[in-house]
Each structure stands twice: as C-alpha cells, then as structure tokens.
C-alpha cells in the first residue's frame, strides 16, 4: 500500500474519532435538528426548533412511536430533558439514574444507577434535569453532589468527580452546560446554608479549571490559583452571614457565543429570615454573567435584593435579538419578567408576568431596583413587643414556589414571543429565629402555599418581551411544572401534571393536539429529525417540589399518580 493511501485511510479512521460530539457541533446545536446536544436545544436555551414537518395543519395526527419505562420501584418526579445523538437517546431519571435508548425502537441499550448514600438532602424531590454530551461521553450530576461521565456506547464510567459534601446539604440536579470546551456546573442546596458557585471543568477528565463563588467574600480559583474574591467582603452581608449565604446555582446556566458569557441564576440567600442579613446579599437572587475563559463576573443583575420570600433567581436567562441588540429574557420566580442587555447587563424592560405581585409594586427601570412594599416583608421575630419566636405573618404573592420555577420557557424568533409556564399562587409566610448547623435546614421561616384562583393555578402564557402583553394563555387546573418547546411549524408543546402532552398554535394558543402519557409531565419536551421524520419526545412522571412543599396546593394534586417513562411521537405514514 502506498503511503498516500495509508494516510487517507488514517484520516478516514480519524474522522471516526472526530465524529464524536465537538464544540462546533454544540455551538450549532440550535440549527442542526438531527440531534439534541444540550439542555435548551442550543446553549442559548431558546427551545426553538427550525423543524416544520410537524405543523399546525397536521399535528392533530401525531401518534406515539414508542414508550420506555424507567422501571424499578424508584419513581417520583421526572424533570429530565432527553438528549439525542447518532441514533441514541440519553435520558436521566429520578434517584440519579441515566438510560441510553435506541431512538428508533425505544429499546434500552444500557442504564447506569448511581449508588446513593443514606443521608442525601435534596430539598425538592429526587429529580434530575438532564445530561450533557461531549466527545464520546455523556455527563450528569447526582443527588450526592458528584459528576459522572460515562461512555456513550457502553455506559461504562470514564471519570467521576465530587462537587462537594452531600452531608453539608450539597446535591446536584441540573443538566450540565458545555461551552467553549468547558463543562459548566453549579450546586444545589440553598435551603442548607451552602455557598453557591459556578465551576468549569475539562469535560474529558473532570479536572477543575475554575470556580466562581456567588456569595460576596469568597475566593474564586483559576487553574489552582487564587483568582480574586467575589465582590467585596461584607459590602452587602453583615458579620459572618456571607459564610453560609446560599445563592445556589441549582438550575444550571445558558451560554451565548455572541457575548462569550455564561449566564447563571442564583438562588435565595440563606437563611430565609431576611432580618438577620440586612443588605442586598449579593449575588443571591440574581442573574450573573461570567466570562467563560477567565471565570470572572462581567455583570450581574439582582432581581430580589435582600430576598425574604425564597425568590430564587435561578430561572434561565434566554438570549435573543431585540431592536438589533443581543438581549436576554428571564421570567423570575419573583413574578417579574426582565429584559436585560446580554453584553453589558443593563435592565431594558421589566413587567409582571403573573396577576399578583405583592412584595413589589413595579421595577424602577432607571435604578433597576424593585419598588418594595415594606409591609409585605415577613416580620422580624426578634422585633420589640414580639414573643421572640414568631415574627408577623404576611400573605405574599407569588408564593415561594414562584411565578415560574424550574420549568424552562421557550422563545420563538418567528413569532417573537416567549412561551412561559406560569403559576398563580400566594403564601402565608412568617419568620422564626434560626442558627446555622451543618446539614440542617437553614430557613428560619414557616409558610403555607395557597391557590389564588378557583379554576386554575397554571397558565401557559405567550408574552411579548417588548410590551409585556400576553398574546394568549391556556389555563391549567394544576400548577404547570414542565417546560416548553416551540417550533418553526408554529407550534408550542408543553406537558401538564394531569398527564397530557399538548400542542397549540404558537400564534393563537388554540390547542390542536393532546396525548395522555399516564403520569404527570413535569419535564420539557424536545424535537429532532431522523431521515424525513420529525420526532417529539417527553418524559412523564409526576413529582417535584409541589407535592412536597405545596401546602394547600398539594392537597389539590394528591390524586395524581407517579410514574417514570419516556414517550416518543411522530406523524403516521400518509
């Protein structure tokens, strides 16, 4: 064999290796619908597919192709978004499980069940929201705060790294984000006085590259060296409170190649009782933009300074173009929708996306700060004239489960609308004295969540980010807890706790199709293309925070059955 031919053969063999998931493929994920490589169908998180095979004229014929059960006795909440690559679907399940499935037949190829220790402390059910793909690996986080990378073909563990100590309340539930050749993750545990942070690792080895704490006063690291303190110690936290300040980055992040920034939302400051930590408590309840290359904070926007209502600002920051500018939209748990300049962090627009927001009357667009109603802050238990055990109770809306929670919204560049899964509820909330104890709940608050309307809690709303106008809404009796998908076929897909996967006309909200999956849907649907066929998939399995924390709402949904399965649909052959 001549040298030239040998060289060509070697190049051909080499393409086998480079056919694995690359940075370029992840960067092009949103516009290459033959695979789904990231949470959000592209790192921007728009959840918009350019596919039009399934559209408003034929979606009524959509039919199941296969369903696969996660099996076992382990059910509970299934909040996972599947990934699809080269004929395989990768889907995580409750109790830190992951499955590889043949996308054509639904046949299970392999599964991995992470061995969980006793004493894990997930606040809000034993959920997982999805995996990340890189090279030949599929990577996901576990309830005992570890990252596990498995071979996509065999399911064998390639590397495993500890994020933090589960006995201190750390866990992991978000889908990791891959950006610029780095694996970006956060932490869960905001109810246990952990310190929220964002970390970047080498996705091939799990080796830590940088770490950026989300609470002022803590040191960041880059390549094993100190990389500057986050903020200024004690600038917005009194005394030692910053040491257990929360701000957990439990929903992961998004990334926009046009700005080079990763956007992570941060959770509530610890403890919930705001009187023991007077100040803004940066960077809790914020959107934080991080330079992926350096691990430095470029800008931040805080939705709820000195949060007193558990308004985790973790909600996804979804970038899009508006008036020739790169901006981001965020439907915050606190009930306000924010439009922010994605490059510089300037607030451009803010409006409520739920009917009742009692804690603030509006957002001042000049200063970016909320106009608080001071009477709606739960009282100080140590206030004069009190019994020292319980502060004044207030009725606040939204309730702490939020105008929107973990369920991701979608944005259509075609209709220029956001499709936001919203909930209308409020809560009685009061404060109690609290001190930090490692691994103990760090709240200092009591609460009961209540519906605001008789006929519905959930509502899928089509929202114009420029005006705040609601183009249409579809109400839902139970709280919405799954995410949304929109397509160039002018469709919006979403699931309900009552078990339906629904499709509506993206322009009018008219429901055109629905399918009963057999358990509640609390996960975001995906779509992809194989040959000439467009497929839609969604995970079904009722659970999550609502049945655990939902007070009077939990009673309203206790008839719903648990489950654990993936469903896949397509149009029948004509």
Instruction: List, by residue number, the catalytic residues.
Output: 310
449 in Cβ contact with 310 (< 8 Å): no
484 in Cβ contact with 410 (< 8 Å): yes
Residue closer to Ca ion by CB (options 86, 437) is: 437
Stretch touching Ca ion by CB under 5 A, among 139-147, 188-196, 214-222, 488-496: 188-196
| Whole-Å CA distances, 226 to 42, 294, 376, 496 | 32, 12, 41, 46
Question: How far apart are CB 123 and Ca ion at their closest, in Å?
Answer: 7
By CB neighbour count within 10 A (0-12 exposed, 13-18 middle, 19+ buried), where does 151 fall? middle
Residue closer to Ca ion by CB (options 267, 563) is: 267
Kindly state the tokens that stand for 148: 């596990």
Tell me, by CB under 5 A, how many residues bind Ca ion.
Answer: 5
What is the length of the chain?
Answer: 574
Q: Rule CB under 5 A: which of 86-115 touch Ca ion?
A: none
Stretch touching Ca ion by CB under 5 A, among 53-61, 93-101, 157-165, 182-190: 182-190
- How far is it, in rounded angstroms, from Cα 245 to Cα 277? 9
Confirm or reject binding of residue 307 to Ca ion (CB under 5 A): no
By CB neighbour count within 10 A (0-12 exposed, 13-18 middle, 19+ buried), where does 479 fall? buried
- How far is it, in rounded angstroms, from Cα 534 to Cα 532? 7
Question: How far apart are CB 166 and Ca ion at their closest, in Å?
Answer: 18
Kindly give, in sequence order, each residue whose CB lies less than 8 Å from that of residue 3, ignoring residues fewer than 6 positions away. none
Kindly state the tokens that stand for 83: 């990934």
Kindly state the tokens that stand for 270: 């610890």
Question: How far apart are CB 553 and Ca ion at their closest, in Å?
Answer: 17
529: helix, strand or coil: strand
Q: Rule CB under 5 A: which of 208-267 touch Ca ion?
A: 267
212 in Cβ contact with 233 (< 8 Å): no
Question: How far apart are CB 270 and Ca ion at their closest, in Å?
Answer: 9
Residue tagged 């748990």 (tokens)? 333
Residue closer to Ca ion by CB (options 169, 465) is: 169
Question: How far apart are CB 272 and Ca ion at their closest, in Å?
Answer: 8
Binding test (CB under 5 A) with Ca ion, winner from 77, 190, 252, 265: 190
Output the residue with the shortest Cβ distance to Ca ion: 268
Paired with 264 in beta bridges are: 253, 288
SS3 letters across 363-398: ECCCCCCEEECHHHCCCCCCCCCCCCCCCCCEEECC
Q: Give phi and psi for 402, each to the nearest 5.
A: 90, 150
Paired with 92 in beta bridges are: 98
Question: How far apart are CB 268 and Ca ion at their closest, in Å?
Answer: 4
Q: Positive or negative, the Cα torsion across 217, 220, 226, 231?
A: negative
6: helix, strand or coil: helix
Question: How far apart are CB 333 and Ca ion at their closest, in Å?
Answer: 8
Residue closer to Ca ion by CB (options 62, 248) is: 248
Query: If phi over 0 gives left and psi between -120 and 50 gives alpha, with beta otherwise, what is residue 284?
Result: beta
Residue closer to Ca ion by CB (options 271, 489) is: 271
284 in Cβ contact with 266 (< 8 Å): yes
Cα–Cα–Cα angle for 130, 223, 27, nearest 5°?
40
Kindly give, in sequence order, each residue whose CB lies less than 8 Å from that of residue 30, ignoring residues fewer than 6 positions away. 41, 42, 43, 44, 46, 48
Residue closer to Ca ion by CB (options 49, 406) is: 406
Binding test (CB under 5 A) with Ca ion, winner from 125, 307, 310, 505: 310
192 in Cβ contact with 168 (< 8 Å): yes
- How far is it, in rounded angstroms, from Cα 478 to Cα 456? 7
Residue closer to Ca ion by CB (options 310, 505) is: 310
Residue closer to Ca ion by CB (options 137, 449) is: 449
- How far is it, in rounded angstroms, from Cα 429 to Cα 449? 9
Binding test (CB under 5 A) with Ca ion, winner from 188, 268, 527, 540: 268
Question: How far apart are CB 252 and Ca ion at their closest, in Å?
Answer: 15
Question: How far apart are CB 191 and Ca ion at their closest, in Å?
Answer: 6
Q: Round the CA-based radius of gyration of the chain to a whole number and report it.
A: 23
Residue closer to Ca ion by CB (options 199, 310) is: 310
Stretch touching Ca ion by CB under 5 A, among 163-171, 185-193, 196-204, 484-492: 185-193
Q: Rule CB under 5 A: which of 312-351 touch Ca ion?
A: 312
Question: How far apart are CB 452 and Ca ion at their closest, in Å?
Answer: 21
- How far is it, in rounded angstroms, from Cα 314 to Cα 196? 11
Residue closer to Ca ion by CB (options 125, 310) is: 310
Residue closer to Ca ion by CB (options 253, 267) is: 267
Kindly give, in sequence order, each residue whose CB lies less than 8 Å from that of residue 515, ignoring residues fewer than 6 positions away. 62, 64, 500, 501, 567, 569
Question: How far apart are CB 521 and Ca ion at their closest, in Å?
Answer: 23
Contacting positions for Ca ion (CB under 5 A): 190, 267-268, 310, 312
């Amino acid at each position: 064999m001549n040298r030239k031919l040998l060289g060509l053969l070697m190049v051909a063999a080499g393409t086998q290796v480079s056919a694995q998931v690359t940075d370029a493929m992840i960067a092009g994920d949103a516009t290459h619908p033959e695979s789904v490589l990231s949470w959000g169908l592209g790192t921007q998180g728009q959840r918009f597919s350019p596919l039009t095979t399934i559209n408003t004229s034929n979606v009524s014929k959509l039919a199941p192709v296969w369903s696969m059960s996660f099996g076992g006795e382990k059910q509970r909440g299934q909040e996972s978004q599947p990934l699809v690559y080269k004929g395989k679907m990768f889907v995580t399940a409750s109790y830190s499980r992951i499955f590889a499935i043949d996308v054509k037949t639904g046949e299970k190829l392999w599964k991995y069940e992470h061995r969980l220790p006793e004493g894990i402390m997930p606040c809000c059910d034993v959920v997982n929201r999805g995996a990340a793909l890189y090279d030949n690996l599929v990577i996901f986080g576990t309830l005992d705060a570890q990252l596990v990378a498995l071979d996509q073909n065999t399911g064998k563990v390639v590397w495993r790294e500890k994020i933090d100590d589960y006995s201190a309340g750390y866990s992991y539930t978000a889908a990791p984000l891959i950006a610029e050749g780095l694996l970006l993750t956060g932490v869960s545990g905001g109810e246990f006085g952990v310190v929220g942070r964002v970390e970047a690792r080498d996705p091939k080895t799990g080796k830590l590259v940088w770490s950026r704490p989300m609470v002022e006063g803590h040191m960041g690291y880059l390549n094993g060296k100190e990389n500057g303190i986050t903020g200024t110690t004690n600038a917005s936290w009194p005394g030692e409170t910053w040491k257990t300040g929360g701000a957990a980055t439990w929903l992961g992040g998004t990334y926009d190649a046009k700005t080079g920034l990763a956007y992570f939302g941060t959770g509530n400051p610890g403890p919930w009782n705001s009187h023991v930590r007077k100040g803004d408590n940066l960077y809790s309840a914020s959107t934080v933009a991080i330079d992926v290359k350096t691990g430095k904070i470029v800008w931040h926007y805080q939705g709820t300074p000195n949060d007193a209502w558990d308004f985790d600002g973790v909600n996804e920051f979804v970038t899009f173009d508006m008036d020739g500018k790169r901006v981001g939209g965020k439907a915050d748990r606190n009930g306000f929708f924010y439009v922010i300049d994605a490059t510089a962090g300037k607030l451009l627009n803010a409006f409520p996306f739920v009917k009742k927001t009692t804690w603030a009357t509006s957002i001042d667009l000049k200063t970016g700060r909320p106009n608080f109603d001071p009477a709606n802050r739960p009282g100080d238990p140590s206030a004069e004239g009190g019994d020292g055990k319980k502060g004044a109770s207030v009725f606040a809306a939204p309730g702490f489960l939020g105008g929107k929670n973990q369920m991701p919204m979608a944005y259509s560049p075609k209709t220029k609308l956001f499709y936001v899964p919203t909930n209308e509820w409020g809560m009685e909330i009061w404060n109690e004295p609290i001190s930090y104890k490692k691994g103990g709940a760090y709240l200092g608050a009591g609460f009961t969540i209540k519906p605001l309307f008789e006929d519905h809690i959930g509502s899928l709303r089509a929202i114009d980010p420029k005006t705040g106008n609601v183009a249409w809404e579809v109400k839902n009796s139970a709280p919405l807890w799954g995410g949304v998908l929109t397509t160039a076929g002018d469709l919006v897909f979403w699931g309900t706790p009552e078990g339906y996967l629904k499709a509506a006309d993206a322009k009018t909200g008219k429901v055109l199709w629905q399918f009963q999956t057999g358990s509640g849907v609390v996960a975001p649907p995906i779509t992809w293309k194989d040959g000439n066929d467009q497929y839609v998939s969604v995970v079904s399995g009722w659970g999550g925070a609502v049945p655990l924390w939902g007070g009077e709402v939990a009673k309203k949904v206790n008839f719903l059955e648990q489950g654990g399965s993936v469903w896949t649909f397509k149009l029948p052959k004509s």
